[in-house]
Amino acid sequence: MADSPTKPPREGSLDAPFRHPIEWRDEAYYDLEAIEKEMERVFDICHGCRRCFNLCDSFPKLFDMVDEGPTGELDGVPKEDYAKVAEACTLCDMCFLTKCPYVPPHEFNLDFPHLILRYRAAKRRAEGGDFVREQLGRTDRNGKLAKPLAGLANWATARENTPLRKLMEAIAGIDAEAELPKYYSKTAEDRLAVPIAPDPAGPAAGKRKVALYATCFVDYNAPDTATAAAKVLARQGVEARLVYPECCGMPQLEAGDLADVAGKAERVARAFAPYIDDGYEVVALTASCGLMMKFEWPLILPENEAVKKLAAATRDICEYVVDIARNEGLAEGLQPVPGGVTVHHACHARAQNMGAKSAEMLRLIPDTKVELVERCSGHGGTFGVMKETRPMAVKVGKPAARQVAQKGSETLCSDCPLACKHLGQLLSAETPDAVQPKQAHPIEIFARAYGVL
């Protein structure tokens, strides 16, 4: 019997893409020489393709270095300059999800963001982490320290406090022009220590119960988001409890500290396991944390059953409300939002491959214009606040801010609260004479349409 013909390679993303587990416990993972060799292979493919030229600044930097080099090819770029490409990456995953035709199962087997993650992890092990960025990333510690001194902390970090912000810039490298998150003395955990009773007449009464993952940002910096989510769910008859064991580890992922991320994943999954076993669904209140729980944690701890169970049970808050609308229907009482809403579809929401659920949810509000902007805000966590990288965050975010300005809505929202803040600041700079839109999380807008916030 003749051998079967070899299956020819297939061009483009014709099969469902997948990602490999992250082998962070293997010593070979941190071999810088091997990593630079893989970067050379991947960068050369990227140079020949260039479909990602209009995403983050990593690709323009790479292509400019190639074009301006002595050979016009990647061999003219010194390997020490690969760090410039890595620094510009915000791990948004847009190249993997929306642009790259060579992701697995393609034989080229490209995963640009996870290659950059590996590079950062190896550099961190070899040289140590960036002290200031790693301190900023200790969100739980920072939130707990700021809580009893919230007013003072907010005064000290306000952009208008020029002397202190200039001092912070000189000492810590935190850009004096970057808007920093505010702190609250009464956190989301404080506000929802007693759960809001579900409406027994709600369409989902007796059918659903939810464990709300507050996230560090919502708990310490945006507690209204948690209150809004709890009140909207209560209106639908959903029993909701706020659960916040600790941060999801996104700041540590960006820094390449994968052991720390793994520890957080194990502890958070363990804390949610009893709720899941008792029939609770898990709802994340920010897109970055939902992405971590659904997709990154299972790749970091692929053998951990509690992590798998949590990933399968987790939904984004807007995704969850849309699911209620489809299956049980929504409680009556939504009122139009005057002036319309522009929704920025954040990269970490897009990377969840669930569709623009925030816009879909807001379109359930009657007689309300909802516009959508699907372009990177450029913020990227500490990337958007450090003096060294903020110019790139501004450069990447300006086109999105211009699109928001063109929509002319009275309200701006994003699945990512930091992206919303960053875009709002860019809008003020780009259109200083225009009336600036109000900023909110999509679920806060939905709660106000119900008149419950």
**Residue range 315-353, pLDDT digits in tens:** 999 999 999 999 999 999 999 999 999 999 998 888 888
Which residue from 329, 282, 273 is spatially nearest to 305, judged by alpha carbons? 273
3-state SS, residue 414: strand
Confidence of residue 12 (pLDDT cuts 50, 70, 90): low
Q: In whole angstroms, give the CA distance from residue 279 to residue 18.
A: 29
Which residue from 237, 365, 349, 195 is spatially nearest to 284, judged by alpha carbons? 349
Q: Angle, nearest 10°, between helix axes 112-127 and 32-49?
A: 150
Tokens of 30: 């941190």
Which amino acid makes up residue 218? V
Q: In whole angstroms, give the CA distance from residue 404 to residue 421.
A: 13
Tokens of 288: 């970055």
- Give me the helices (H) in 128-161, please: 131-136, 139-146, 150-157
Helix, strand, coil % over all residues of the chain, rounded to 5: 55, 10, 40
DSSP letters for 44-62: HHHHHH-TTTTSSTHHHHH
91 pLDDT exceeds 90? Answer: no
Task: Give the pLDDT confidence score for residue 75 in this predicted structure.
Answer: 92
Q: In whole angstroms, give the CA distance from residue 263 to residue 5.
A: 47
Q: In whole angstroms, give the CA distance from residue 354 to residue 206.
A: 26
3-state SS, residue 174: strand
Tokens of 115: 């290659």
Let me know: does 265 contact 301? Beta carbons within 8 Å: yes
Query: Considering the entire predicted model, what is its pTM?
Result: 0.91
Cβ burial of 75 (10 Å; 0-12, 13-18, 19+) is exposed
Let me know: does 385 contact 174? Beta carbons within 8 Å: yes
Q: For the beta carbon of residue 130, count every other beta carbon within 10 angstroms.
A: 17
Q: In whole angstroms, give the CA distance from residue 268 to residue 298.
A: 13
pLDDT in tens, 310-324: 999 999 999 999 999
1 pLDDT exceeds 60? Answer: no
| Cα angle value 127/129/132 (rounded, 5°) | 140
8 pLDDT exceeds 60? Answer: no
10 pLDDT exceeds 60? Answer: no
Q: What is the mean pLDDT of residues 86-103?
A: 87
pLDDT in tens, 29-87: 999 999 999 999 999 999 999 988 877 888 999 999 999 999 999 999 999 999 999 98
Confidence of residue 2 (pLDDT cuts 50, 70, 90): very low
283 pLDDT exceeds 70? Answer: yes
Element (H, E) at 254: helix 250-255
Q: What DSSP character marks residue 386?
A: B
Task: Give the pLDDT confidence score for residue 284 in this predicted structure.
Answer: 96
Q: What is the mean pLDDT of residues 281-300?
A: 95
pLDDT in tens, 185-196: 999 999 999 999
| Cα angle value 313/341/381 (rounded, 5°) | 55
Q: Angle, nearest 10°, between helix axes 258-277 and 305-313?
A: 70
Which amino acid makes up residue 127? E
Q: What is the mean pLDDT of residues 413-437?
A: 88
363 pLDDT exceeds 90? Answer: yes
Q: In whole angstroms, give the CA distance from residue 453 to residue 444.
A: 7
Q: Average per-residue pLDDT in the chain?
A: 92
**What residues have CB less than 8 Å from 27, skipping those under 6 apart?**
none
Tokens of 424: 């709002």
